[in-house]
Each structure stands twice: as structure tokens, then as C-alpha cells.
Amino acid sequence: MKQNKTWIKELFFEYIWMIIKYTFVAGAIALLIRGFLLIPLPVGGNSMEETLSQGDMVLVEKISKIKRFDIVVFQLSDGTTYIKRVIGLPGESVSYKNDQLYINDEAVQEPFLEERVKEDQDTIPVTYDFTFSELMGVEKLGKDSYFVMGDNRRVSKDSRSFGAISSEDVLGIARFVYYPFPHIKFI
């Protein structure tokens, strides 16, 4: 009888020790993922309306290469954090004419704006006309520079007002809305 109690005690302590080890490992993995791979961030403002709403919580990943039309989170030197869509990549020239995006003088479609442009076709433009050289004072984006804009172009504070952003300013690429539940989606 005494042997059974000893055996049960040993089994109980082994079980508890196993739970502690697995909990520690799971916590360490969660901290690594949270700190280096996926960052939860809130969306503030309405400059990305239709795509993202104020109060949405997004997961931002830090390891992928930035591509055109990715939605990036970045922080300017004044400490302000923004979430915007990448329009121009390093070495490119960006311009708009009659609600049409031009990259290096070639027309590029923006499928995420098609509905908005159709709705407002007979009123004011979704994106006001500009040329890159007039707006930025240079012909092309520099190395490691990106031109970003919000999807709600009429109210967005973006590269048209604060200039191109550096790759060093980018915190990551927004990939998933996880809260509130009715807004859950991949971006």
C-alpha cells in the first residue's frame, strides 16, 4: 500500500513538472512570435476606410519583402505611427491623372479603389492629379524609399504630405484583421 502511494506521488510530480515545462516552452514560443514575427496593432483614423476601419486590430508581420499595394505600418521620425498602402517602390515615379495611377508613365490598375471611383465618377476625383516631380521635387523614389497612400484618398495624410518613407521606418506588413469579429479577414 505504501509503495502505491509513493508511486502515485512520483507520477503526480512528474505530471506537474511536465505541465510546467510545456507551459514555459509555449510561453517562450509565443513571446518570440509576438516580438519578432507577428505584432498586434490597432488601426487609428479613417484614411484606410473600406479596407480597414478605425478600431480594427491587425496582425503585422516583419519578414516579407514589401510589394506594390501591400498595406504597411510605419513610424515617422516624430514618433507618429501610420498604416497606408504602398503605391510606389524604390526607383519608381508615381503620378495621377483623371483618377488613374501611373507608375513610370505606365497606367496601373488599383482594384481596391474601383468601386469608389465608379461611385464618384461624376463628382470630385478620388485622387487629385499630381506629378511626382512637382510633388516630391525629384524624378524617382530613392533606394529603400516607398510612396504610400491611404485608400480614402481625400482625407489621407500620406506621402503626398510628408514625403516618401524609408524602409527603416517600416514596422511590417499588415496581413490579418482579427478584431472586431465581424471585420475578421486576410488583407
Residues with catalytic annotation?
Answer: 47, 84
Query: Under 8 Å CB-to-CB from 34, ≥6 apart: which residues?
Result: 40
Spacing of C-alpha 13 from chain mean position: 46
